[in-house]
Protein backbone atom coordinates (compact mmCIF):
# COMPACT_ATOMS: atom_id res chain seq x y z
CA UNK A 1 0.00 0.00 0.00
CA UNK A 2 1.04 3.58 -0.67
CA UNK A 3 -0.09 7.09 0.25
CA UNK A 4 0.55 9.09 -2.91
CA UNK A 5 3.40 11.17 -1.47
CA UNK A 6 6.12 10.81 -4.10
CA UNK A 7 9.65 10.01 -2.87
CA UNK A 8 11.31 11.20 -6.08
CA UNK A 9 11.11 10.97 -9.85
CA UNK A 10 13.70 9.11 -11.89
CA UNK A 11 14.59 8.50 -15.50
CA UNK A 12 14.09 5.05 -17.01
CA UNK A 13 17.48 3.72 -18.10
CA UNK A 14 16.40 0.87 -20.37
CA UNK A 15 13.01 -0.55 -21.35
CA UNK A 16 12.40 -3.78 -23.25
CA UNK A 17 8.96 -4.91 -24.33
CA UNK A 18 7.86 -8.09 -26.08
CA UNK A 19 5.01 -10.52 -25.48
CA UNK A 20 7.45 -12.90 -23.76
CA UNK A 21 9.71 -10.52 -21.86
CA UNK A 22 8.72 -7.18 -20.36
CA UNK A 23 11.16 -5.41 -18.09
CA UNK A 24 12.97 -2.15 -17.47
CA UNK A 25 15.90 -0.85 -15.43
CA UNK A 26 16.29 2.26 -13.30
CA UNK A 27 19.52 3.66 -11.91
CA UNK A 28 20.02 2.96 -8.22
CA UNK A 29 19.20 5.90 -5.96
CA UNK A 30 20.28 6.22 -2.32
CA UNK A 31 16.64 6.53 -1.22
CA UNK A 32 16.09 2.94 -2.36
CA UNK A 33 19.24 1.27 -0.99
CA UNK A 34 17.19 -0.60 1.61
CA UNK A 35 14.91 -2.28 -0.97
CA UNK A 36 15.17 -6.01 -1.51
CA UNK A 37 14.04 -8.40 -4.25
CA UNK A 38 10.30 -8.98 -3.96
CA UNK A 39 9.58 -5.53 -2.49
CA UNK A 40 6.78 -3.44 -4.01
CA UNK A 41 7.27 0.03 -5.46
CA UNK A 42 4.70 2.41 -6.92
CA UNK A 43 5.97 3.54 -10.30
CA UNK A 44 3.82 6.18 -12.00
CA UNK A 45 0.96 5.03 -9.78
CA UNK A 46 1.33 1.34 -10.68
CA UNK A 47 2.45 -1.27 -8.15
CA UNK A 48 5.43 -3.24 -9.48
CA UNK A 49 7.77 -5.77 -7.88
CA UNK A 50 11.56 -5.54 -7.74
CA UNK A 51 12.89 -8.74 -9.35
CA UNK A 52 16.64 -8.02 -9.43
CA UNK A 53 19.03 -5.65 -7.70
CA UNK A 54 22.39 -5.03 -9.35
CA UNK A 55 25.35 -2.87 -8.38
CA UNK A 56 23.96 0.27 -10.04
CA UNK A 57 20.50 -0.73 -11.28
CA UNK A 58 17.11 -2.08 -10.23
CA UNK A 59 15.16 -4.38 -12.55
CA UNK A 60 11.35 -4.53 -12.68
CA UNK A 61 9.15 -6.86 -14.67
CA UNK A 62 5.61 -6.11 -15.81
CA UNK A 63 2.78 -7.96 -17.55
CA UNK A 64 1.35 -7.33 -20.99
CA UNK A 65 -1.85 -5.96 -19.39
CA UNK A 66 0.15 -3.54 -17.24
CA UNK A 67 1.95 -2.28 -20.34
CA UNK A 68 -1.37 -1.70 -22.13
CA UNK A 69 -2.76 0.24 -19.17
CA UNK A 70 0.28 2.44 -18.62
CA UNK A 71 0.57 4.90 -21.46
CA UNK A 72 3.33 6.63 -19.53
CA UNK A 73 5.87 3.95 -20.41
CA UNK A 74 6.43 6.19 -23.41
CA UNK A 75 7.69 8.92 -21.09
CA UNK A 76 11.24 9.33 -19.79
CA UNK A 77 10.54 10.29 -16.18
CA UNK A 78 8.48 8.35 -13.64
CA UNK A 79 7.12 9.08 -10.16
CA UNK A 80 8.43 6.64 -7.53
CA UNK A 81 7.10 5.83 -4.08
CA UNK A 82 8.17 3.13 -1.63
CA UNK A 83 5.44 1.05 -0.02
CA UNK A 84 4.17 2.00 3.43
CA UNK A 85 5.64 0.39 6.53
CA UNK A 86 4.03 -0.07 9.92
CA UNK A 87 4.38 2.96 12.21
CA UNK A 88 5.21 5.29 9.29
CA UNK A 89 3.57 8.71 9.15
CA UNK A 90 0.76 8.62 6.57
CA UNK A 91 0.19 11.75 4.48
CA UNK A 92 -1.91 11.92 1.33
CA UNK A 93 -4.44 9.07 1.23
CA UNK A 94 -4.11 5.29 1.18
CA UNK A 95 -3.81 3.83 -2.32
CA UNK A 96 -2.93 0.37 -3.61
CA UNK A 97 -1.51 1.47 -7.01
CA UNK A 98 -3.92 -0.74 -8.95
CA UNK A 99 -5.13 1.84 -11.47
CA UNK A 100 -8.84 2.08 -12.23
CA UNK A 101 -8.65 3.91 -15.56
CA UNK A 102 -6.92 6.48 -17.75
CA UNK A 103 -8.04 10.13 -17.86
CA UNK A 104 -7.07 12.68 -20.50
CA UNK A 105 -4.96 15.72 -19.59
CA UNK A 106 -7.00 18.61 -21.00
CA UNK A 107 -5.14 21.65 -19.70
CA UNK A 108 -2.41 22.74 -17.31
CA UNK A 109 -1.52 26.34 -16.48
CA UNK A 110 -0.19 28.63 -13.76
CA UNK A 111 -2.78 30.67 -11.85
CA UNK A 112 -1.10 33.12 -9.46
CA UNK A 113 1.07 30.87 -7.27
CA UNK A 114 -0.64 27.53 -8.01
CA UNK A 115 -0.69 25.23 -11.00
CA UNK A 116 -4.12 24.15 -12.21
CA UNK A 117 -4.40 20.79 -13.95
CA UNK A 118 -7.57 19.69 -15.75
CA UNK A 119 -8.40 16.06 -16.49
CA UNK A 120 -11.24 14.82 -18.69
CA UNK A 121 -13.09 11.55 -18.07
CA UNK A 122 -16.29 9.79 -19.09
CA UNK A 123 -19.43 10.62 -17.16
CA UNK A 124 -19.77 6.97 -16.05
CA UNK A 125 -17.20 7.73 -13.32
CA UNK A 126 -19.34 10.40 -11.65
CA UNK A 127 -20.17 8.11 -8.68
CA UNK A 128 -16.48 8.03 -7.72
CA UNK A 129 -15.88 11.76 -7.99
CA UNK A 130 -16.63 14.19 -5.16
CA UNK A 131 -15.56 17.76 -4.42
CA UNK A 132 -12.52 17.81 -2.08
CA UNK A 133 -12.09 14.05 -2.46
CA UNK A 134 -8.61 12.59 -3.09
CA UNK A 135 -7.63 10.77 -6.27
CA UNK A 136 -4.30 9.23 -7.21
CA UNK A 137 -2.99 10.89 -10.40
CA UNK A 138 0.01 8.95 -11.75
CA UNK A 139 0.63 7.89 -8.16
CA UNK A 140 0.35 11.42 -6.71
CA UNK A 141 -2.33 12.07 -4.09
CA UNK A 142 -4.31 15.11 -5.31
CA UNK A 143 -7.54 16.75 -4.16
CA UNK A 144 -10.42 17.61 -6.52
CA UNK A 145 -11.07 21.37 -6.42
CA UNK A 146 -13.51 21.82 -9.30
CA UNK A 147 -15.98 19.54 -11.07
CA UNK A 148 -17.59 20.53 -14.38
CA UNK A 149 -20.19 18.10 -15.74
CA UNK A 150 -21.03 18.01 -19.46
CA UNK A 151 -23.33 15.75 -21.47
CA UNK A 152 -20.95 12.79 -21.74
CA UNK A 153 -17.86 13.96 -19.90
CA UNK A 154 -16.62 15.32 -16.59
CA UNK A 155 -13.82 17.86 -16.27
CA UNK A 156 -11.86 17.71 -13.01
CA UNK A 157 -9.53 20.40 -11.72
CA UNK A 158 -6.68 19.92 -9.24
CA UNK A 159 -4.63 22.72 -7.67
CA UNK A 160 -0.93 21.91 -7.39
CA UNK A 161 1.68 23.61 -5.29
CA UNK A 162 4.93 24.51 -7.02
CA UNK A 163 6.62 22.01 -4.70
CA UNK A 164 4.52 19.16 -6.14
CA UNK A 165 5.22 20.37 -9.66
CA UNK A 166 8.98 20.61 -9.10
CA UNK A 167 9.43 17.29 -7.29
CA UNK A 168 7.27 14.98 -9.43
CA UNK A 169 7.10 14.07 -13.12
CA UNK A 170 4.14 16.43 -13.67
CA UNK A 171 6.51 18.99 -15.19
CA UNK A 172 6.98 16.64 -18.15
CA UNK A 173 3.27 16.19 -18.95
CA UNK A 174 1.80 17.37 -22.24
CA UNK A 175 -1.75 18.28 -23.21
CA UNK A 176 -3.68 15.17 -24.38
CA UNK A 177 -1.45 12.79 -22.40
CA UNK A 178 -3.26 9.90 -20.74
CA UNK A 179 -2.94 9.82 -16.95
CA UNK A 180 -3.22 6.80 -14.61
CA UNK A 181 -6.06 7.23 -12.12
CA UNK A 182 -6.90 5.38 -8.92
CA UNK A 183 -10.05 6.37 -7.06
CA UNK A 184 -10.26 6.71 -3.31
CA UNK A 185 -10.19 3.18 -1.90
CA UNK A 186 -13.11 3.64 0.49
CA UNK A 187 -15.42 5.16 -2.11
CA UNK A 188 -14.45 2.69 -4.81
CA UNK A 189 -15.06 -0.45 -2.77
CA UNK A 190 -18.15 0.87 -0.98
CA UNK A 191 -19.87 1.83 -4.23
CA UNK A 192 -18.70 -1.35 -5.93
CA UNK A 193 -20.36 -3.44 -3.23
CA UNK A 194 -23.55 -1.37 -3.00
CA UNK A 195 -24.11 -0.96 -6.73
CA UNK A 196 -22.23 -4.01 -8.01
CA UNK A 197 -20.11 -1.68 -10.15
CA UNK A 198 -17.18 -3.16 -12.02
CA UNK A 199 -14.77 -0.96 -13.94
Fold match flag (8-82 vs 101-195): yes
DSSP string, 59-120: EEE--HHHHHH-GGGGSSEEEEEEPP-TT----S--B-----EEEEEEEEEEETTEEEEEEE
CA distance 70 to 50: 18
| pLDDT-based confidence at residue 155 (cuts at 50, 70, 90) | very high
- For 106-172, give the DSSP string: EEEEEETTEEEEEEEEEGGGGGG--TT-EEEETTEEEEEEEEEE-SSEEEEEEEE-HHHHHTSGGGG
Q: Is the pLDDT of residue 109 over 80?
A: yes
Predicted TM-score (pTM) of the model is 0.65
Q: Is 163 exposed, middle or buried (0-12, 13-18, 19+ CB in 10 A)?
A: exposed
User: Does the pLDDT of residue 129 top 70, yes or no?
Assistant: yes
How far is the C-alpha of 59 from the C-alpha of 198, rounded, in Å? 32
Please tell me the predicted confidence (pLDDT) of residue 41. 80
The residue ranking higher by pLDDT, 102 or 89, is 102
Distance CA 170, CA 78 (A): 9
Q: Which CATH entry fits the domain spanning 8-82: 2.40.30.20, 2.60.300.12, 3.50.50.60, 3.40.50.360?
A: 2.40.30.20
Domains of the chain: which residue ranges?
A: 8-82, 101-195
More confident residue, 154 or 82: 154
Top-confidence residue, 189 or 176:
176
Note the pLDDT tens digit of each residue in 15-55. Answer: 666 555 666 666 666 667 777 877 878 777 777 777 787 77
Q: Identify the pLDDT of residue 146.
A: 93
Q: Which CATH class is domain 101-195?
A: mainly beta
Amino acid sequence: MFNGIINLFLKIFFLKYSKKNNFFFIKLNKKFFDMNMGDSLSIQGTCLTLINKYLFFFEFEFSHMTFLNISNFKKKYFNFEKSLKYFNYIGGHIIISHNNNLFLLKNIFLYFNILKIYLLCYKKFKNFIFYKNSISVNGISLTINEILIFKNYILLCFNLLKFTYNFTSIKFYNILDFINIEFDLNIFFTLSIINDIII
